[in-house]
Amino acid sequence: MTEGSIVCCGLVAVGLLLQQLIGPIRWDMMAWPMNVLVLVVLLFGILMMHLCRREVRLFRWMGTLQAGIPAMVTCAMLTILMGVTKQVPSGHQPTEPFGITSMLSFWPFVLSYLWLIILVGMVCLTRLRLPLWHNIPFLLNHLGLFIALVTGTLGNADIQDLRMAVQEGKTEWRAIDARHKVYESPITIELHDFSIKFHDSSTEPQSFTSDVTVYTKSGLKVRDTIRVNQPLAVSGWKIYQYNYETREDMGDISVFELVRDPWLPYVYLGIFMMLAGAISMFVRTPSNKSNR
Amino acid sequence: MVNWNELWLFALPALLCWMAGALLSLRGRWQKMACLMTICGLLIFGGYIALMWHSLERPPMRTMGETRLWYSFFLPLVGLITFIRWRYRWILSFSTLLSAVFICVNLLKPEIHSKEMMPALQSPWFAPHVIIYMFAYATTGVATLLALWQLCRKQDQLAAIDNLIRVGISFLTVGMLFGALWAKEAWGTYWSWDPKETWAAATWLCYLVYVHLRKSRPAMVRPALLWLVLCFLCLQMCWWGINYLPSAQGVSVHTYGG
């Protein structure tokens, strides 16, 4: 495992250098079509390394636990470092010179996870060549993680996340993004009624409900209620109850969050594979009654 | 109407049942009786949780005190399943002792809370997410104690530890992914690197290292067991440590109301 540790130390060192030279990673540059390009290069690279594994010792070694364990330890340590440092909100600059307060844009962190996921991809390809039946739990766990992590990370820049504040009785078509830039929303929301139910003897709300009609550009018209934990799905968008304001002069204002995540089905594919993998891992844990 | 004041009325008989089960299983001859007593204790304690659920009008899973109830319940359950499946005689004594510790904490320091539950927690995902995590914590907790036992007493418990960790990881995975699916429904993102999520990811990775290490170097026992202790420290940070961690103040959706 010495080689694996050296590689990880090297990655962290290179990452620190890159951090100083070009600064934190700009994830917004990953938006379509860049993310698809990166995905193709990643998959092609992994496939090529797999095919050349007989000729190149390094590629053969990348499919082993000796390479994988140091990579996992490095990722775990950097995640713990993230856990003990107060992180700035996404999109903000780190508050110290190293960049660890914006860990997701910290080069050593991203390079370590990239290395780990490449190793996972390599080991999946190796296993895919073996008889499938006995490898199903392994593949569900590893390939599921690969799919969820890769598509979740690459797809993140394609997520559209808008807020819309709608007055009771009015129709709204303007939305703002996280940077407070105003857009013409792809969805128009008419708020018929907004109601808050409070707990008895308390100012803490029990639930808030918006009765809305939603119009899309394609001419669709949907009347429904939106609550916390009960978003409304309309033509690729999900509309969440986000917040509310009560004003003397304008009446109730209900704030909605509109999210569109085109990569979500692939992330869910990975997540459900991992769920199946976890269940099969539980079922296949050996029972050895001979022990004591 | 049942509340925290009645806890001892249920906890005491349950503990007595579990202790009887533990003693019987130690002797090795009355194994069916040991199982039966443990089940009795589980029914009594489970009955208390059910009554609390009923009188709170929400699942008792929001405060640390309430999650401790589940922990006290799942430890003997994990102990019983392990006992039935692997026949370790000492396991019920272990789980009973641990469960007693958590019951005592709850008896001496109950965190009493009002029955309100914020809207984001009113979801069908809530109960499975927390219960599965509590089960995983209980399993890994027993495994960690076994690891410490082996480190100090040099008795080989490795097969049991490995099995418990496999079970623990599968539940950690399911709990984490259920959390992700729930977060998508409630907040629109499946993973937002909230401090609790960050620590859950770190913990999960650490336990995965253990499994892979055991596979790669079966002879490296001591470092693996020491690593397991580190994993459990991580898990404690994830479970309650972050409530005291300066870096996690005021930003976590997971901060308990107490």
Note whether A3 and A9 are within 8 A (CB).
no
Q: How far apart are CA B7 and CA B52, in angstroms?
A: 9
Q: Is a pLDDT exceeding 90 seen at residue B89?
A: no
Q: How far apart are CA A118 and CA A200, in angstroms?
A: 54
Phi and psi, residue B239, nearest 5° = -75, -55
Top residue of B149, B155, B193, B233 to mutate, by most chain A CBs within 10 Å, is B193
Q: Is a pLDDT exceeding 70 seen at residue B53?
A: yes
**Under DSSP, is residue B29 helix (H, G, I), strand (E, B) or coil?**
coil
Is A79–B195 a contact, with Cβ atoms under 8 angstroms apart? no
Is A206–B85 a contact, with Cβ atoms under 8 angstroms apart? no
Say whether residue A152 is in contact with chain B using an 8 A CB cutoff: yes
- Note the pLDDT tens digit of each residue in B132-168: 898 899 899 989 999 999 999 888 889 989 999 999 9
> Domain residues of chain B, as ranges?
122-258
Instruction: Classify domain B122-258 by CATH number.
Output: 1.20.120
- Note the pLDDT tens digit of each residue in B107-120: 887 665 555 567 77
> Mean pLDDT over all residues of chain A?
91
Is B181–A271 a contact, with Cβ atoms under 8 angstroms apart? yes
Residue A88: both structure tokens together: 């700035």
- Note the pLDDT tens digit of each residue in A114-140: 999 999 999 999 999 999 888 999 999
**Confidence class for position A289, pLDDT limits 50, 70, 90:** very low
Distance from CA of B69 to the nearest CA of A (A): 24
Q: Is a pLDDT exceeding 80 seen at residue B86?
A: no
**Under DSSP, is residue A155 helix (H, G, I), strand (E, B) or coil?**
helix
Task: Please report, rounded to a whole number, the percentage of residues in chain A having pLDDT higher than 70.
Answer: 96
* CB proximity list for A58: less than 8 A, separation 6 or greater: none
Q: How far apart are CA A73 and CA B216, in angstroms?
A: 14
In order of their start, the domains of chain A are 2-158+264-283 (no CATH), 160-260 (2.60.98)
> Across B103-237, where does the E strand assignment appear?
none
Size of interface A-B (CB pairs under 8 A): 140
Top residue of A72, A115, A260 to mutate, by most chain B CBs within 10 Å, is A72
Residues in A closer than 8 angstroms to B201, CB to CB, are 79
Residue B212: both structure tokens together: 């892979």
Say whether residue A236 is in contact with chain B using an 8 A CB cutoff: no
Element (H, E) at B129: helix B126-153
> What residue in A sits closest to B168 (Cα-Cα)?
A282
**Confidence class for position B252, pLDDT limits 50, 70, 90:** low
Task: Provide ipTM, 2 decimals.
Answer: 0.92
